[in-house]
Structure 1
Amino acid sequence: MSGHSKWHNIQAKKGKADAKRGKIFTKIGKEIVVAAKNGGSNPETNAKLRDVIAKAKAANMPNDTITRAIKKAAGELSAVNYETIIYEGYGPEGIAVIVECLTENKNRTAGNVRYAFSKQGGNMGTVGCVGFMFQSKGEIIIEKTDSVDEDELMMMALDAGAEDFVAEDEVFVVTTTPEDFGTVREALESNGIEFLEADVKMIPDTYTEINEEVATKFQKMLDVLEDDDDVQNVYHNAEFPEGWEG
């Protein structure tokens, strides 16, 4: 079907992902706090919290860690006030970049994000400068295995309300509207499907090819942003060179 997520292009490398696993858990834990504060700490009555828990499980976050995070959130609802802030700008060679943050200190976060952009030849722009080049979509990534039948999975996803289904080299990519994401995810989950990723994210309409020199520079920028505890997600439209390892 139509579309191509470039999942293999933007997915963190396995070694880096393992090295940053603790930081990933910290970021997801922060999302759990916000979801619980906004909708309560019971996943059965809080759809957003259910979605964040699914994201945590896809990231291999242990169940007891998830449970502790929910309990911690329930006990800290009045103690921490995180604000969602979106920054937009350009990486080297005009790569479109969106940085999604959760912070209790806007000045600190703005300064750190601006530094990350300028250090590697990019620049932070105004709100909306690149946002029009992306669409908010639910995206569920499923690993190709012998136990997953492509046709059955596709029909399962589409029947549940998915917009699109794409088979890539190593994964299946299910795309939904943000509104239908939870319904589709839960339908697949109830049929025993496991996810590599499950989240609502910003998907670029088109991708910009970059060479190895630009890729190396841009990866440094991504590393700085992703190492920042206030940064939850970084979205971009760069297409890294085939086989590039960084």
Structure 2
Amino acid sequence: MAGHSKFANIKHRKERQDAKKGKVFTKLGREIAVAVKEGGSDPDLNNKLKDVIAKAKANNMPNDTIERSIKKAAGELGAVNYESFTYEGYGPNGVAIMVETLTDNKNRTAANVRHAFTKGDGNLGTTGCVSYMFEKKGQIIIEKNEAIDEDEIMMIAIENGAEDVITEEEGYEIITSSEEFSSVNEAITNMNIKPVSSEITMIPQTTVSLIEEEKIKLEKLLDILEEDDDVQGVFHNLEN
């Protein structure tokens, strides 16, 4: 894993999301609802819910909004009927793209994703066409500042199960297995550090580069996908 960093991409994505917080919170609320339905409303007994809460906090979702989402989901278990589907395809110059969705209408979502790929000069592929290029990992991004000690972060992260800690000019990228993500994230937050990003994600094992014109086309495709309420996550293998 060493040598691969998504720090710049993460910050850029966060900047795009900051302009549409309401939509981001709606999507996070949907993830919370599914997690509660699958494992209950107590994050200490439901690791999936704990992971979603960590992601919500990293996206500046207020604690009372998180609590309301959990209580709402717990009180409406019968009404929560979302299904998870993953779509795979290609962007400009063969950039691999994975799209994770939660939907109550598969036909609508499939049509919207297909339209996004077409409009963004991409191609929707078949199941498995690009997923082999990605690994499901926990990823915690921390911005550097004078109050954060690099050696301490590395020690705490590794002691709690992190696979790798990558130091960049702007910050640190902590990589974990999906199973160890919760314990590492909890250890980091117990250091009074607020991550820039903290989530279970899909990390590419190989990357491709694009010329500026192709990057603009890819941004258009990603923006269309991320605007869709059913789309929870979009992952690609563009080189930083």
TM-score (norm 1): 0.94
Counterpart position of 1:57 = 57
* Identical counterparts, % of pairs: 58
| TM-fit CA distance, 1:9 | 2.8
Counterpart position of 2:17 = 17
Distance of aligned partners of 1:14 and 1:187 in 2 relative to their CA distance in 1, 3 Å threshold:
closer
Question: Greater CA deviation, 3-12 or 129-138?
Answer: 3-12
Counterpart position of 2:43 = 43
| TM-fit CA distance, 1:2 | 1.8
Counterpart position of 2:222 = 222
How far apart in 1 are the matches of 2:154 and 2:57? 22
How far apart in 1 are the matches of 2:125 and 2:101? 16
Output one character per residue of 1:137-176: Cα deviation in whole Å (capped at 9) or x when no partner: 1001111111100011111101111000011121210000
- Residue 176 of structure 1 aligns to a residue whose secondary structure is strand
How far apart in 2 are the matches of 1:136 and 1:121? 27
Counterpart position of 1:239 = 239
How far apart in 1 are the matches of 2:188 and 2:152? 11
How far apart in 2 are the matches of 1:171 and 1:106? 39
Distance of aligned partners of 1:181 and 1:67 in 2 relative to their CA distance in 1, 3 Å threshold:
same
Distance of aligned partners of 1:72 and 1:86 in 2 relative to their CA distance in 1, 3 Å threshold:
same
Output one character per residue of 1:168-227: Cα deviation in whole Å (capped at 9) or x when no partner: 121210000111111111122223222111111100011111011001111110010000
Counterpart position of 2:131 = 131
Partner AA of 1:158 in structure 2: I
Counterpart position of 2:159 = 159
Distance of aligned partners of 1:106 and 1:14 in 2 relative to their CA distance in 1, 3 Å threshold:
closer
Q: Between the two structures, name the one with larger relative contact order (CA 8 Å, sep ≥ 6).
A: 2
How far apart in 2 are the matches of 1:135 and 1:190? 27
How far apart in 1 are the matches of 2:7 and 2:115? 27
- Please say if residues 9 and 239 of structure 1, whose CA atoms lie closer than 8 Å, have aligned partners that are also in contact: no
**1:1-246 alignment to 2 at 5 Å?**
2-13=2-13, 15-239=15-239
How far apart in 2 are the matches of 1:163 and 1:123? 34
TM-score (norm 2): 0.96
Question: Greater CA deviation, 105-114 or 175-184?
Answer: 175-184
How far apart in 2 are the matches of 1:13 and 1:106? 26
Counterpart position of 1:243 = none
- Residue 209 of structure 1 aligns to a residue whose secondary structure is coil
Q: Which runs of 5+ in 1 are unaligned?
A: 241-246
How far apart in 1 are the matches of 2:55 and 2:139? 11
| TM-fit CA distance, 1:14 | 5.5
How far apart in 1 are the matches of 2:205 and 2:179? 19
